[in-house]
Chain A
Amino acid sequence: MRRFATAALAAALALPLGACRKALPSSVIVYARGEDSESLDPQGFDDGESSKVADQIFESLVSFGPGTCDLVPGLAESWTASPDGLSWEFRLRKGVKFHDGTPFDAEAVVFTMQRLLDEKNPLRPPVKVPYDSYYRGIVESVAAKDPHTVLFTLEKPSATFLPNMAMFAAAVVSPTAVRKTGAALFGKNPVGTGPFRFDSWSQGEKKITLLRNEEWWGGKAGVERVIFRTIPDNNSRLTALRSGDCNWMDGINCEDLDACRKDPELKVWSATGMNVGYLAMNTERKPFDDVRVRRAVNLAVDRRKVVEGLYYGSARPAVHPMPPGTLGYDESTPLPAPDPAKAKALLAEAGFPAGFDTELYAMPNPRPYFPSPLKIAEVLKADLAAVGIRARIVSPGDFSLYREATSNGKHALAMLGWTTDNGDPDNFLFTFFSKESAVKGPGALNVSFWVDPRMQDLLRAGQAEMDGAKRAALYREALALVADQVPLVPVAHADTPYVSRAGFEGFLVQPSGDLVLHRVKPPPAE
């Protein structure tokens, strides 16, 4: 009896050893990430983990060109604007169907836009519509002219309208599906037109499965299936990738990148991030109301050292508060070189020959633009100390507490950053420098609280100017004003690394952060 029990136990333990080490089929992407999605309703989420999945299922009228922020046709084949910029006509792609068989037409576009524009719409996502302010206040009305033409009427001419139409928040949803499931459940049963269709979401396993849309108008995707799964710990996720339990991952620790680059079984992909991490100075507080002090801080910080030391080759030092490639980015400005002597002189001139004490707020958790914020804060602190600014690092418990403190101006110096939603300069500069985003309380993103009438004029003009060259000139002037007044010190534009098993080709991450998985070609099957 005892021998039998022992044998049974041994068999039970040995059973999984042989059975569960099956290799993944190469036509399947198993993408491991740190968290599950919240909702797959494109109008109803704002977390990156949701957009990774929704990007595969949904499409917008306008799309970004591969690897750029150029606006190219998506579900709309073409568009024209009236000379006054107030009315826009989109001609829709014909013969496109939603995954549930519903034809894609003007009614679907109107239906989708109504979810963003109409607060009383019962089919609006119930929890939140985080991006509705990108459309309300710009779009007055949307109407179907005929089944394949949609007419947008704007309240005022807007240069950001078209880039906003390329965002995932404006992705077109199947009206039939939303009506069938109701708005609340649509986020768990999404139906779009994209290269992959939703198959299942096991909430208990935090696993989402997508299948290839065999009828996609853009041609069939390279892989048959995409499975998103959740492994919270960065080290364990990499272990799962190395052992072949997944074949794709993001959220790798920067310090592991070198080892991955050297590993012949792995492949590191790097996506140029349209983001900026910066050090903001609260201009409402002494002594940062004095531009000489702000200039001294700018001269104290060695961005190159920060980037080389703490980003492991996956970032560029920042010159401007928006990344290269954005309209109006001024390539001619050199990276400011650190000059401690000049910084000290400026401080002395401002009345601080012996320096001063201050507080540096640093977020407790990694952000895309600051992968290790507390270490970066230490480097900034040392740079500042070298010119006599003695900063104490303050880091509240979690990111929401951090945002609460900074958006209410509790800080003197604060590290913060931004990843663009649509690749438009307005999305960076209006966020950082407008009077509107300097209103204290939730949503305050101008945490320098620097409000300048000339800047305000430039930002307003930039929003309304439809001519690309004239618009670029406005933003160049705005950047020059920032460089002169230094409300913040741009520190870095971080790239986002992804790691896959070797053999995959064609993976692309858009500058907007959207994952393009339908271009991925699997390795030849053995």
Chain B
Amino acid sequence: MGRYLLRRLVLFVPVWLGVATLVFLLVRMSGDPVLAMVGDKASPERVAELREKLGLDRPLPAQYASFLGELATGDLGESYRTQRPVLEDLRDYFPATLELTLLAMLFATAGGMALGIAAAVRRNGWVDSASMVTALVGVSVPVFWLALLALKGLGESAGLFPVGGRLSATTDLRPLTGLFTLDALLRGDPAAFADAFGHLVLPACVLATVPAAIVTRMTRAALIESLGKDYVRTARAKGLRERTVVVRHALRNSLIPILTVVGMHFGLLLGGAVLTETVFGWPGLGKYTVDSVLRRDFRSVQGALLLMATTFVVVNLLVDLLYGFLDPRVREGYEEGR
């Protein structure tokens, strides 16, 4: 197990280097960042001066070398748009995305699995049809439209949820981890917790729709397959309760594909959800990255993309480790494959 983990981590280095190189090249192919930075009123001398200051007048290999050098020391440079270190920006915006993703994936996994199990157990019944239609709608509806609808209906008209941002304007919360619900608890401030949680619910629900729909379909398919297996027939023949048969025997063996889907979406959502973040005014990584791309704030783009790649790889690794936890055969495989 330890060796497996080590090997995965070592493999991560070339992957990460590849991503860094790709990001470096893509950012430099996307046009002149200096013009976007200085604005309309700058003189050509200012432009040249800034280009020199940023090292953009140097040959590409030299830029690449210093880029890698800075990365090695953990320096992501300074954002020209927000005028502060990229690392600080990421420290602010990544927790927002993480918090939203965690709740959204919780909703998606719980809701999706419940619907999927119900559909599989009552296959071809009305529950099945209803949940499959729900799932189809879930993947098909445009997210920004659903988001606006949720805001209008539940936020404005029904007045159930606050609209915009992570906290109400008048709530002051000094962040610790950047996960505001957790911070509110750590600071012992129940009002701030309620406020932060209230702001989370709608965007998390909206963000959960697509993964929930996919989890539903995956759960249904995997469970139906398991329920047709011999060991299920044996379990039933032993006289076990149907619930035990489904949950302990069939579902447990269907978890691997479900986990794969959940892990994949978790990784994707950690890269930020631009549309959801924009509509809900959620200051997350997705909006930050897109704004940085539009302003050609290349240091922020580099930093954000590297962070996304890293989280994606880490989540994948965690999923792989969970496979071993769920399935002893995989665990054995770790040992054999050394």
Binding site for B on A (CB under 8 A): 12-13, 15-17, 19-22, 24-25, 28, 30, 32, 35-36, 38-39, 44, 46, 127-128, 130-131, 133, 184, 187-188, 200, 203-207, 227, 229-233, 235-237, 239-240, 242-243, 245-246, 398, 400-401, 403-404, 439, 441-443, 445
Contacts and interface: CB of A to CB of B under 8 A. Distances in A.
B294 interface: yes
Given A17-B198, A240-B163, A445-B40, A232 B287 contact: yes
A376 B84 CA distance: 38
Nearest to A13: B201
A243 B156 contact: yes
A245 B151 contact: no
A24 B47 contact: no
Contacts of A15: 194, 197-198
A28 B194 contact: no
B96 A20 contact: no
B96 A204 contact: yes
Contacts of A44: 83
B152 interface: yes
Given A233-B279, A400-B35, A442-B47, 5 more contacts: A28-B169, A38-B83, A204-B178, A239-B151, A239-B155
Interface in B38-85: 38-44, 46-47, 50, 80-84
B271 interface: no
B58 to A, nearest CB: 20
B166 interface: yes
Given A17-B198, A131-B41, A442-B44, A25 B170 contact: yes
15 contacts: A12-B197, A19-B194, A20-B162, A20-B198, A38-B81, A39-B83, A203-B89, A204-B175, A206-B165, A231-B163, A236-B148, A237-B164, A246-B169, A441-B47, A443-B42
Nearest to B144: A233
Nearest to B49: A119
B279 to A, nearest CB: 5
A19 B181 CA distance: 14
B137 interface: no
Contacts of B96: 204
Of B43, B96, B178, most A-chain CB atoms within 10 Å = B43
Contact of A187 (B36, B41, B83): B83
Contact of B42 (A19, A229, A442): A442
A11 to B, nearest CB: 11
A15 B196 CA distance: 11
A327 to B, nearest CB: 22
Contact of B38 (A19, A239, A442): A442
A231 B165 CA distance: 7
Given A227-B170, A443-B44, A32 B164 contact: yes
A32 B155 CA distance: 16
Interface residues of B, number: 63
Contacts of B168: 20, 22, 245
A131 B140 CA distance: 49
Interface in B147-161: 148, 151-152, 155-156, 159-161
Contacts of B39: 46, 128, 130
Interface string B14-50: 0000000000000000011001111111111011001
A127 B299 CA distance: 14
B41 A130 contact: yes
B155 A243 contact: yes
B316 to A, nearest CB: 27
B265 interface: no
Contact of B40 (A127, A203, A403): A403
A404 B35 contact: yes
Of B169, B201, B279, B280, most A-chain CB atoms within 10 Å = B169
Contacts of A243: 155-156, 159, 162-163
B32 A404 contact: yes
Interface in B216-246: none
A126 B73 CA distance: 23
A131 B191 CA distance: 45
Contact of A130 (B32, B42, B172): B42
B283 A206 contact: yes
Contact of B163 (A22, A128, A205, A245): A245
A39 B160 CA distance: 35
B273 to A, nearest CB: 13
A321 B298 CA distance: 36
Contacts of A22: 168, 170
Contacts of B80: 127
A188 B84 contact: yes
B320 interface: no
Nearest to B147: A236
A25 B170 CA distance: 9
A127 B31 CA distance: 20
A16 to B, nearest CB: 3
A227 B50 CA distance: 34
The 7 A-B pairs at the shortest CB distance, nearest first, are namely A16-B198, A231-B281, A204-B92, A19-B194, A20-B198, A400-B36, A240-B163
B310 interface: no
A239 B163 contact: yes
A361 B295 CA distance: 20
Nearest to B280: A236
Contacts of B283: 204-206, 230
A401 to B, nearest CB: 7
B93 interface: yes
Contacts of B198: 15-17, 19-20
B167 interface: yes
A233 B169 contact: no
A231 B164 contact: yes
A242 B156 contact: yes
B159 A233 contact: no
Given A128-B42, A443-B42, A21 B159 contact: yes
A246 B44 contact: no
Given A17-B198, A39-B83, A130-B41, A236 B279 contact: yes
A236 B281 contact: yes
B278 interface: yes
B194 A133 contact: no
Contact of B281 (A230, A398, A439): A230
Contact of A24 (B31, B93, B169, B295): B169
Interface in B190-216: 191, 194-195, 197-199, 201
